[in-house]
Amino acid sequence: MLFSIKTTVRTVLKSKLAWAGAVILIVIAVMAIAAPAFSPFDGYSHDTDSIFLKPMSKGHWFGTDEFGRDLFVRVWQGARISLAIGILAAIIQMVIGTLYGGMSGLFGGTVDEVMMRLADALYSIPDLILVVLITMAMGNSCFSVILALSVTGWTSTARVVRGQTLMLKEMDFVRAAKAFGAGRWYIMFKHILPNCRGQILVSLMLNVPSAVFAESTLSFLGLGIKPPDASWGTLVNEGFKYSNITYHPWVIFLPLFFIAITMISLNILGDEFKKALDSKH
Amino acid sequence: MLKRLASFLITMWLVVTLTFIFIRCLPGSPFNSDKMVHPQILSNLNTKYGLDKPFHEQYLRYMQNLVKGDLGISMIYKNRSVSSIIKRAFPVSLDLGIRAVLLAAFVGLLLGLISALFTNKAQDHIISAITMISVSLPGFVVGTLLQYLLCYRLSVLIYNITKVRFNIFPNTGWEGFRSTVVPTIALAAGVMGIVAKMLRSSLKDVMNQDYIVMSRAKGLNKREVVFRHALKNALLPLLSISGPLVSSIIMGSFVIENIFSIPGLGRYFVSSVQDKDYTMVLGLSVFSVFIVVLINTLTDILYAIVDPRVRIEPKDRLGA
Amino acid sequence: MDTILRIKDFSLSFKGKKILDNINMSVSKGEILAVVGESGSGKSMLARSVLGLNSPDVFDIKGKIFFDDRDINSLPEKELTKIRGAKIGMVFQEPLSYLNPVIKMASQLTEPLNKHKKINKRKAAQLMEDFLRKLNINDPLQYMKSYPHQLSGGMAQRGVIAMNSSCEPELIIADEPTSSIDVIVQYSIIKLIKDLARLQGTSVIFITHDLQLAAKIADRVAVISKGRIVEEGDVQEVLKNPRTNETAQLLNACIAERAQETGVKRKALLEIRDLRMHFKSGNNINRALDGVSLTVYEGETLGILGESGCGKSTLSRIITRIQRPTSGKVLFEGTDIFSIKDYSKIVQMIFQDSITSMNPQMRIEDIVAEGIDILYGKSRQERTKDVIECLKRVGLDKSIKDRFPHQLSGGQRQRVGIARALITNPKILICDEPTSYLDTVSQKHMLDLFMKLKNEINLTYIFITHNIRILGNISDRIAVMHKGRIVEIGTRDEIVFNPVHPYTKMLIDASIKDEDYFAESLFQTDDSACNSCGCKYHALCKRAAEKCRQESPALISIEGEHFVACHLF
Confidence band for C503, pLDDT divided at 50, 70 and 90:
confident
Angle in degrees, CA B35, B40, B44, rounded to 5: 95
B293 to A125: CB separation less than 8 angstroms, yes or no? yes
CA atoms of C324 and C322, how far apart (whole Å): 7
Query: What does the pLDDT read at residue C556?
Result: 72
Query: What does the pLDDT read at residue C508?
Result: 73
What SS3 state is found at B147? helix
CA atoms of C224 and C439, how far apart (whole Å): 15
More confident: B262 or C467 = B262
CA atoms of A63 and A266, how far apart (whole Å): 27
- What is the three-state SS of chain A? CCCCHHHHHHHHHCCHHHHHHHHHHHHHHHHHHHHHHHCCCCCCCCCHHHCCCCCCECCECCCECCCCCEHHHHHHHHHHHHHHHHHHHHHHHHHHHHHHHHHHHHHCHHHHHHHHHHHHHHHHCCHHHHHHHHHHHHCCCHHHHHHHHHHHHHHHHHHHHHHHHHHHHCCHHHHHHHHCCCCHHHHHHHHHHHHHHHHHHHHHHHHHHHHHHHHHHHHHCCCCCCCCCCCHHHHHHHHHHHCCCCCCHHHHHHHHHHHHHHHHHHHHHHHHHHHHHHCCC
CA distance C438 to chain A (A): 17
CA torsion sign for A216, A218, A223, A225 is negative
**B218: CATH:** 1.10.3720.10
CA distance A45 to chain B (A): 26
pLDDT digits (tens, 9 = 90+) for A196-246: 988 899 999 999 999 999 999 999 998 888 887 889 999 999 888 888 888
Residue B74 lies in a domain: no
pLDDT digits (tens, 9 = 90+) for C290-327: 889 889 999 899 999 888 778 888 999 999 999 899 99
Query: What does the pLDDT read at residue A134?
Result: 84
Query: Order of strands, edge to edge, in the sheet holding C88-91?
Result: C88-91, C171-175, C203-208, C32-36, C220-225, C228-234
Query: What does the pLDDT read at residue C253?
Result: 45
Instruction: Report in angstroms the alpha-carbon separations of C106 from A220, B217, C53, C322, C447.
Output: 56, 18, 25, 44, 50
Query: What does the pLDDT read at residue C512?
Result: 38
Q: Hey, is the C-beta of C102 within 8 angstroms of any chain B C-beta?
A: yes
Query: What does the pLDDT read at residue A281?
Result: 52
C375 to A179: CB separation less than 8 angstroms, yes or no? no
Residue B304 lies in a domain: yes
Q: Scanning every residue of chain C, which has its alpha carbon at the shortest distance from the alpha carbon of B308?
A: C102
Q: Scanning every residue of chain B, which has its alpha carbon at the shortest distance from the alpha carbon of C145?
A: B318
Closest Cα partner for A133 from C231, C429, B26, B91? B26
Neighbours of C555 (CB within 10 A): 18
Give me the mean pLDDT over the A56-78 stretch.
83
The residue extents of the domains of chain A are 15-35+57-278
Chains meeting A at 3+ CB pairs closer than 8 A?
A: B, C
CB burial of residue B5 (10 Å; 0-12, 13-18, 19+): exposed
Confidence band for C211, pLDDT divided at 50, 70 and 90:
confident
Q: Hey, is the C-beta of C267 within 8 angstroms of any chain A C-beta?
A: no
Contact by Cβ (8 Å): B150, B186? no
Query: What does the pLDDT read at residue C261?
Result: 53
A136 to B145: CB separation less than 8 angstroms, yes or no? no
The residue extents of the domains of chain C are 31-54+75-251, 268-362+417-564
Residue B9 lies in a domain: no
**Residue B78 pLDDT > 60:** yes
Phi and psi dihedrals of C58, rounded to 5? -100, -35
Residue B31 lies in a domain: no
Q: Choosing among A164, A172, A186, A201, which should be mutated to test the C contact, i.e. which has the most C CBs within 10 A?
A: A172
**Residue C172 pLDDT > 50:** yes
For residue B49, the one-letter residue type is Y
CA atoms of A12 and A196, how far apart (whole Å): 18
CA torsion sign for B82, B85, B91, B93 is negative
What SS3 state is found at C14? strand
Contact by Cβ (8 Å): A44, A69? yes
Residue B47 lies in a domain: no
pLDDT digits (tens, 9 = 90+) for B105-156: 999 999 999 998 888 888 899 999 999 999 999 999 999 999 888 888 888 8
Give me the mean pLDDT over the C234-252 stretch.
74
Which class would CATH give C268-362+417-564? alpha beta
> Residues 39-58, chain C: which have Cβ within 8 Å of B?
48, 51, 53
Q: String of b and e for A237-261 (b: at least 16 CB within 10 Å)? A: bbbbeebebeebbbbbbbbbebbbb
Neighbours of B8 (CB within 10 A): 19
CA atoms of C84 and C90, how far apart (whole Å): 8
CA distance C481 to chain A (A): 22
Query: What does the pLDDT read at residue C500?
Result: 78
Chains meeting B at 3+ CB pairs closer than 8 A?
A: A, C
- Number of compact structural domains in chain B: 1
- Residue from the list C322, C352, C359 with its beta carbon closest to the beta carbon of A179: C322
Residue B191 lies in a domain: yes
Residue B258 lies in a domain: yes
Contact by Cβ (8 Å): C102, B233? yes
Closest Cα partner for B199 from B117, B132, B129? B117
**Residue B49 pLDDT > 70:** no
Q: How far is CA C273 from the centre of its chain?
A: 28
Confidence band for C514, pLDDT divided at 50, 70 and 90:
very low
The span from the first CA to the last CA of chain B, in angstroms, equals 29
Confidence band for C559, pLDDT divided at 50, 70 and 90:
low
Q: Scanning every residue of chain B, which has its alpha carbon at the shortest distance from the alpha carbon of C112?
A: B218
Closest Cα partner for A249 from A55, A67, A45? A55
Give me the mean pLDDT over the A243-269 stretch.
89
Q: String of b and e for C52-87 (b: at least 16 CB within 10 Å)? A: bbbeeeebebebebbbeeeebbeeeeeebbebbbbb
What SS3 state is found at C48? helix
- Average pLDDT of chain B to the nearest whole number: 82
**Residue C462 pLDDT > 90:** yes
More confident: C559 or A132 = A132
Query: What does the pLDDT read at residue C532?
Result: 46
Q: Hey, is the C-beta of C220 within 8 angstroms of any chain B C-beta?
A: no
Q: Residues of B with CB below 8 A from C138's CB?
A: 320
Query: What does the pLDDT read at residue C430?
Result: 94
Confirm whether C31-54+75-251 and C268-362+417-564 share one CATH topology: yes
Q: Scanning every residue of chain A, which has its alpha carbon at the shortest distance from the alpha carbon of B297?
A: A124
CB burial of residue C478 (10 Å; 0-12, 13-18, 19+): buried
C102 to B312: CB separation less than 8 angstroms, yes or no? no
Task: Output the CATH code of domain C31-54+75-251.
Answer: 3.40.50.300
Q: Which residues contact C68 (CB under 8 A, 6 or more apart)?
A: C4, C87, C170
More confident: C566 or A161 = A161
Long-range CB contacts for residues C331-337, cutoff 8 Å, separation at least 24: C331/C270, C331/C271, C331/C272, C331/C273, C332/C269, C332/C270, C332/C271, C333/C269, C334/C271
A175 to C353: CB separation less than 8 angstroms, yes or no? no
CA distance C99 to chain B (A): 5
Confidence band for C543, pLDDT divided at 50, 70 and 90:
low
Angle in degrees, CA A88, A89, A93, rounded to 5: 120
What SS3 state is found at C260? coil
Confidence band for C502, pLDDT divided at 50, 70 and 90:
confident
What SS3 state is found at C240? helix
More confident: C383 or A54 = C383
More confident: C346 or B7 = C346
Query: What does the pLDDT read at residue C161?
Result: 92
Query: What does the pLDDT read at residue A213?
Result: 93
Query: What does the pLDDT read at residue C521?
Result: 39
A171 to C356: CB separation less than 8 angstroms, yes or no? yes
With a threshold of 0.95, does the pTM exceed it? Answer: no
**Residue B165 pLDDT > 90:** no
pLDDT digits (tens, 9 = 90+) for A79-135: 999 999 999 999 999 999 999 999 999 998 889 988 988 888 888 888 888 888 888
- Residue from the list A249, A263, A266 with its beta carbon closest to the beta carbon of B138: A263
How many CB contacts within 8 angstroms connect chain B with chain C?
Answer: 106
Q: Which residues contact C112 (CB under 8 A, 6 or more apart)?
A: B218, B219, C85, C86, C89, C163, C164, C166, C167
Query: What does the pLDDT read at residue A200?
Result: 92
Enclosing domain of residue B172: 82-319
β-bridge pairing C17-28 and C3-14: antiparallel
For residue A213, the one-letter residue type is F
The span from the first CA to the last CA of chain C, in angstroms, equals 51
Cis bond upstream, residue C140 (ω within 30):
no
More confident: C537 or C285 = C285
Share of chain C above pLDDT 70, in %: 87
- Average pLDDT of chain C to the nearest whole number: 83
Q: Which residues contact B54 (CB under 8 A, 6 or more apart)?
A: none
Query: What does the pLDDT read at residue B48?
Result: 60
More confident: C520 or A117 = A117
Query: What does the pLDDT read at residue B32?
Result: 44
pLDDT digits (tens, 9 = 90+) for B36-46: 455 665 566 56
Contact by Cβ (8 Å): B71, B283? yes
CA distance A179 to chain C (A): 6
Reported as type and span, the H/E element at residue C505 is helix C502-508
- Side-chain-side CA neighbours of C259 within 13 Å: the count stands at 2
Q: Hey, is the C-beta of A23 within 8 angstroms of any chain B C-beta?
A: no
Query: What does the pLDDT read at residue C569?
Result: 63
Give me the mean pLDDT over the C182-200 stretch.
82
B211 to C155: CB separation less than 8 angstroms, yes or no? no
In terms of CATH architecture, what is A15-35+57-278?
Orthogonal Bundle (1.10)
Give me the mean pLDDT over the C172-201 stretch.
83
Give me the mean pLDDT over the C334-360 stretch.
90
What SS3 state is found at C333? coil
**Residue B52 pLDDT > 80:** no
A133 to B136: CB separation less than 8 angstroms, yes or no? no
